[in-house]
Chains A and B, each alone.
Chain A
Amino acid sequence: MSAERKKLLSVAALSLMALFLWWAQGHLDGYKIQILNLVAINIILALSLNLIYGFTGLFSLGHAGFMAVGAYVSSLLILPAAQKETIFLLEPLVWPLSVLQAPFFVAVLAGGVAAALFGLLISLPVLRLGGDYLGIATLGFAEIVRVVANNLPGITNGALGLKGIPHYANIWWNYGWCLFTLYFIVRIVNSNFGNVLKAIRDDETAARAMGIDVLRCKVISFALGAFFAGVGGALLASLLTTIDPKMFLFLLTFNVLMIVVAGGLGSISGTVIAGVVITVLLEWLRFVENPIDFGPIHIPGIPGMRMVIFSLALLFIILFRREGIMGMREITWDGLACACRRGGKDRG
Chain B
Amino acid sequence: MSLEMFIQHFLNALTLGSLYGLIAIGYTMVYGILRLINFAHGDIFMLGAYFVFWGGALFKLPWGLAVVAAIAFTSFCGVLVDRAAYRPLREAPRISALISSIGVSFFIENLCIVTFSAIPRAVHVPQWLGQVHLIGKVRLLPLAVVVPIVSMVLTSGLLWIVYRTKPGLAMRAISKDIETTRLMGVPVNRIIAITFGLGSALAAASGIMWALRYPQIHPFMGVIPGFKAFIAAVLGGIGSIQGAVLGGMLLGFIEIMIIAFLPALSGYRDAFAFVLLIAILLVRPSGLMGEKLEEKV
- B-binding residues in A (CB < 8 A): 59, 122, 125-126, 128-133, 135-137, 139-141, 143-144, 147-148, 150-151, 205, 250-251, 254, 257, 261, 302-305, 307-308, 310-312, 314-315, 318-319, 322
Across the interface, A315 reaches (CB within 8 A) one of B100, B231, B295, namely B100
With contacts defined as CB atoms under 8 Å apart, how many contacts are there between chain A and chain B in the complex? 117
A257–B268 Cα gap in the complex (Å)?
27
B85 at the interface (CB under 8 A from A): yes
Pick the contact of B106: A144, A303, A307 (CB < 8 A).
A307
Cβ-defined partner of A131 (8 Å) among B94, B223, B268, B271: B94
> Does A322 contact B96, Cβ atoms closer than 8 Å?
yes
| Between-chain CB contacts (< 8 Å), 9 pairs | A59-B95, A133-B281, A136-B230, A250-B223, A303-B117, A312-B103, A314-B103, A318-B99, A319-B85
On whether the beta carbons of A148 and B268 are closer than 8 Å, the reply is yes
A177 to B103, CA, bound (A): 30
A132 with B98: in contact, given A144-B275, A304-B118 (CB under 8 Å)? yes
Decide yes or no: A311 and B95 within 8 Å by CB, A135-B37, A141-B274, A319-B85 being known contacts.
no
Nearest CB on B from A248, distance (A): 13
**Would you give the 0/1 interface string for B163-177, flagging 1 where the beta carbon is closer than 8 Å to chain A?**
000000000000000
Residue of B nearest to A251 (CB): B106
Q: Are the CB atoms of A312 and B230 closer together than 8 Å? A: no
List residues of chain B with CB within 8 A of the CB of A148.
268, 271
Q: A136-B37, A315-B103 are in contact. Are A308 and B281 (CB under 8 A)?
A: no
B→A interface (CB under 8 Å): 35-37, 85, 88-89, 92, 94-96, 98-100, 102-107, 109-114, 117-118, 223, 227, 230-231, 234, 267-268, 270-271, 273-275, 277-278, 281-282, 285, 295, 297
Q: Assess whether B227 is in contact with A311, with CB atoms less than 8 Å apart.
A: no
- Of all chain A residues, which has the CB nearest B88? A319
Classify the secondary structure of A's interface with B.
helix
The 8 A-B residue pairs with the shortest CB-CB distance, nearest first, are: A304-B113, A140-B274, A311-B107, A311-B106, A147-B271, A307-B110, A314-B103, A151-B267
The answer on a CB contact under 8 Å between B103 and A304 is no
B111-A254 in contact (CB<8A): no
**Separation in Å of the A137 CB from the closest CB of chain B?**
6
Q: Are B114 and A303 in contact (CB under 8 A)?
A: yes
Which B residues touch A250, using CB under 8 A? 223
- Cβ of A303: which chain B residues have Cβ within 8 Å of it? 113-114, 117-118
Question: Contact: B278 with A141, CB < 8 Å?
Answer: yes
